[in-house]
Amino acid sequence: MKYAHAVALSIDINRIRSIIIEEMIRESPKGLLYHQRIIDKNSYLSEIQQKYPILSNSFNIYYLSGGKKIEPHIDSDRFVALNIPIRGVKGTATIFYSSPSYLETHNKSYIYDAINGDLKEEFRFCLDTPTLLNTKHIHSVDNPNNKARIVMSWNIIPGYSYEDAVEWFNACQDATQQNNL
Ligand X SMILES: O=C(O)CCC(=O)C(=O)O
**16-55 binders of ligand X (CB under 6 A):** none
CA dist., res. 133 & res. 96, Å (int): 10
Task: Return the one option of ligand X, Fe ion, none that residue 134 interacts with (CB less than 5 to 8 A, by type).
Answer: none
* 81 belongs to the binding site for ligand X (CB under 6 A): yes
The answer to whether the beta carbons of residues 82 and 154 sit under 8 Å apart is yes
Give the single-character DSSP code of 175. H
* 141 belongs to the binding site for ligand X (CB under 6 A): yes
* 155 belongs to the binding site for ligand X (CB under 6 A): no
R_g of the chain computed on alpha carbons: 16
Residue (6 or 176) nearer to ligand X, CB: 6
* 114 belongs to the binding site for ligand X (CB under 6 A): no
The answer to whether the beta carbons of residues 6 and 165 sit under 8 Å apart is no
CA dist., res. 53 & res. 75, Å (int): 22
Site of interaction with Fe ion (CB under 5 A) = 75, 135
* 135 belongs to the binding site for ligand X (CB under 6 A): yes
Angle at 4 between CA 174 and CA 143, to 5 degrees: 115
Query: In the complex, what is the shortest distance from the CB of residue 9 to ligand X, in angstroms, rounded to a whole number?
Result: 17
What does residue 123 show for φ and ψ, rounded to 5 degrees?
-160, 135
Using the contact rule CB under 6 A, the part of the chain among 16-24, 31-39, 43-51, 135-143 near ligand X is 135-143
Q: Which residues bind ligand X (CB under 6 A)?
A: 62, 70, 75, 81, 83, 94, 127, 133, 135, 139, 141, 151, 153
